[in-house]
Structure 1
Amino acid sequence: MRNQLSMCPVSAGFVWEVCTKSCLRSAYFAATLAVFCVAGCGRSDTGDVATNPETDLATAAEEDTTRPNEQPQSYASVQGPGQTENSNNLPPSIAGPANSTNDVTRGSTPVKDPGTVVETSQRTSVPYDPGLQLKTDLTPAQLVDFLGEADRELRALINGQSGITDPQAAESEMRRVVALKRVASQRLMEHPDVRVPDRVTGQRGFLQSLSHQASMGDLRAAEDLQDFAEKFRDDPNAELRSDAQLVLIGFAIESLRHGKDNAAERVLQLVKELMDDERPVDVASLMVLGQAKDTLLQYERVDEASEIRELILAKFGDSQNDEVARMAAMIASSGFSQAGSAIERLDQLRQQFVDDARLVAEESTTSSPEVTVPMWTEAVEAVVSQSADLLTAEFLAGVALEAEVVGRGDIGDATYEILRAKFSDRKDALGRVSRTALKARENRVNVVGEVFDPDLPSVSGKPLDMSDYRGKIVLMPFWSTAFPDSLMVLPNLLEIQKRYPKQVEVVGMNLDVEGTSVSGFVEREGLDFPSFRSVSDPSAEIVNGVAYRFGAVTLLFVAVIDQEGRVSHLDFSGGDLMSEVEKLIR
């Protein structure tokens, strides 16, 4: 995780945890912005400054921020069990990495207590640490470093990595560090030798500090926060301007909750200002936009909420990152009952055609389907017209595959055609999902009838050649150690082989990534059938060539290969393949 001059690139889950559990404790500030609970304003550990918030958002959607092994380093100059005479009895804090010049210190010439702090003696058995202190007469560069250190302290406290287990002690320390951050930010803003970029860092740190304090119930800080944000609402610096706009959106949301006149219109106006900015909106901002939309819906301001929903989709719907587009789609679509009703209707039809197909299979009878293609197409069109986003495309791709599995190829064909017509030409994540589903289906159709004779090594390292199995039926499960359930079909395959030992063989296709101990897995699980080894590369355009050729988009997946070495049938239901084998034996 980087600490840098931008919204801190953390996961949505982390932002939500911070919002709901650590900072937004005051009812008045239930809508105060998530971004200022985690945003960093100091230099990163490498001295980098964020330049691409869109990249940060993509990273945030994928990054796991709960790193149990990422512990702050300790100062070499940590004081002993007592504070220094100048410590002013400030509560202790966790240790953090020191800079080389020791300008950020612990227990050495701290500033006077910048705020009232409640002390508590309940701590863990971790050795006593007098905590982060702010020296006087720091240069602008040293103040920037201090702000980075303060952000690391806050992050450790929020993540529960501070060594403080008592909630009151943790809150007390958080208040103290935030107060120090505010003082350091103000000094940086007002320093006579400060450069413009560092002054902006101070301004952003000051805004963040006020937001922290306001979220912990400091109403004076709340008043100062609103004034400060209004002052920089149109600032030339994009990051500072965005920070200020987000704070004002939070205040506007609170005004809406308190029934103030024109609050809904102000929320929408501020959101439009934020979204019209050339600077890409990051993950914390996206969370706030979702909160604004949800609050408007809560107070039955559907028109304004719908506008924000469309703004979110317009900004992120064409993202090149699947996770970003998916997160935006989830945030944008939640709470809209009309779209939800359409999805629910479609899912009811899906469940109905699946149940009907299973009933027909169990009774070995034929009957007119209750879910017709026109009925299904109408329901799909209703969903697409209301919610044309990544989640919709993924849902439709999954349903089309399920229709193939249960023998409703007509519904599958209709669904694939809608994906082709509505989404396949798009250049964003939604288009990629649709094209992937369409290409996989095309490959599944085309591979049937082809001779399959791969030039691949075996898992065991022993020679393995499909030509050795001519004259026999080969059942080929695609499997991976990362997905043990991919071998759930194995008992059925082995049972078929046991019934027809001279006519059927089981030969697997392993799809694990490079470096996986596949042979170790085979030994532990007692797998006694041979397998080809087709190495997957998640960074490649085609992750696995064999899976791509077969159109395998899910595990469970079994290829049935006939006596001539041709692909006869593909199954991804996990069902009994005895009937397919017996067709070939006859």
Structure 2
Amino acid sequence: MFRAISTVHNASRFPQPLAPRRQALLAGLALAFVCSGCSMSEDTSIDNPPDLDADPSGQMASQLIQPTTSTNPDFAPTHSQAPERGEEFMPPALDATSTDMTPIQGGEPSDTGIVGDEPEPYRSPLTIAPAEDETAETEDQTEPLQLAADLSPQELIIFLGKADQYMQLLFSGRGISDRNEAFKEMNRVAKTKLEASRRLIEHPDADATQQIEGARGEMQSLSHLAAQGNLKAAEDLATLAKKNFQSNDRLLVADSRVVLIGFAIESLQAGKEGAADQIVSLVESVDSSDDQPDVPALMMMGHARGLLAQYEFDEQAVKVRQRILDLFADSSNPEIAKMAAQAAGNVRFDVVERMRASIVAGKSVTKNQWIESVDELINDAPDLVTVQYLAGAALEFEASGADSLATVTYQIMQDRFKNPKTATGREVSVALEARAARQRVIGNVYAPDLPSTSGNSMPLSNHDGKVILMPFWATGFPESLQVIPMLKRIQNEHPDDVVIVGMNLDPADTRVDEFEPDKKLGFPSYRSESSADQGMGNPVAAQFGMVSMPFVAILDQQQRIVALDFTGSKLEPTVTELLEK
């Protein structure tokens, strides 16, 4: 429901039902793992698997565009999750369909957050200032890829490799800077790659090895198209995967298995009988060697285990977990072993996660039940992942009004992780300090001594008698502005009684004056500059205890801070209550 922006991260949610046009996409996402970071002509063994702590999705995100839809047209917050065991193996969606706001271009996070200094080696998901090496040019950098006629089998294989490289360039945003145009070009290249693959399969001069390369390229091409919303491609992919799963080629079978696991996961999410056992059957057929680890299968197995646990198929989840450990836990590659530990998960996490979801959904969970489960989790895994998960859960309880459970969660963390010199202790300190700040500001009159983004004086007292909605935002973080349509709708419903006054948190060198009119924000904002030289990153963010985005302060008619909202759930009820007084 929100994106964490300090070292405190939010808890994950149960998977939402797929929209009808996305029912066949998961298998497409699965097979895209296979060609992540490699071309068709390269060996598929992974010498340098993705670091799931630095980027839980590894290189997978650079291989996919997954259209997304929000169940709430006004508010579509996003997650930045702690590296929870078994929950990190699907790539994040790159929203190419949102109509709420114009897509916002932003740099990758640097080591300076806007809330406080990050203890090394941890890195804040929110950065206001991009690092120097992350400001590479993003304008169009390549010519469109074209498939020539009458290519030989070897030339077709070379073309497939170039197609993969070109698509990686497009996915990274360095090939075509406009996302919509890049999406169209990726669709064209995927279709062209599909044609080249089928030519290679049918080429009279192609040998058996080259035909296998064509067959793998065909599956990858259909995967790309399915991931972009092409249902016909998804249907063809399912049929092809079943056929190729019977092949004698190990790599083609591995590709097919990953796709079939993906479709079985979709069946599980759709509530189809037997889907859980089908996943187990496919997982038990995985054959991975230490010299050629099947990393795509590992990723899908981890995702499947997490979903099986979430849907309470505990017996099947245990079987998948054991298979992960059997195949990958003792890998000579430490990164593979690390990935396996994350994918295998922790049984205690599964129990606590189900309980957390019930609490947020308003279902009955007693304080003692929660305490017992959290204590067992910490006893089993007293590490940074656990702390980040619990800090996120506590923050989510705050947002949902489960204050007593939020309090007891913070208290448990404080009692169990007391040493501020450790990574876990520092993490707890950040969470506690932020919560204390949020509690301190409630009830206080806010009169910021800050200029507007245009440099002018802007006293809040100018809006005396009106409810003030104050979204905190930064140009590089679309999450911070996703709440704006909801705020504008509330304002339009009460044009004489509600105003929007933003709080911009960008560093001094950001051209906010160009950003605001370009994105048509339509409301004034204060300018609180973030700086790497400031011990707290941004003083206003620290003052308000902001550790997630979106983040909105709600002020009453006398400029008193009455509520802080970071899920969208408090906005309308609080405004209604203030206007009825």
With the length of structure 1 as denominator, give the TM-score of the two structures.
Answer: 0.45
Which structure has the greater CA radius of gyration? 1
Greater RCO (CA < 8 Å, at least 6 residues apart): 2
With the length of structure 2 as denominator, give the TM-score of the two structures.
Answer: 0.45
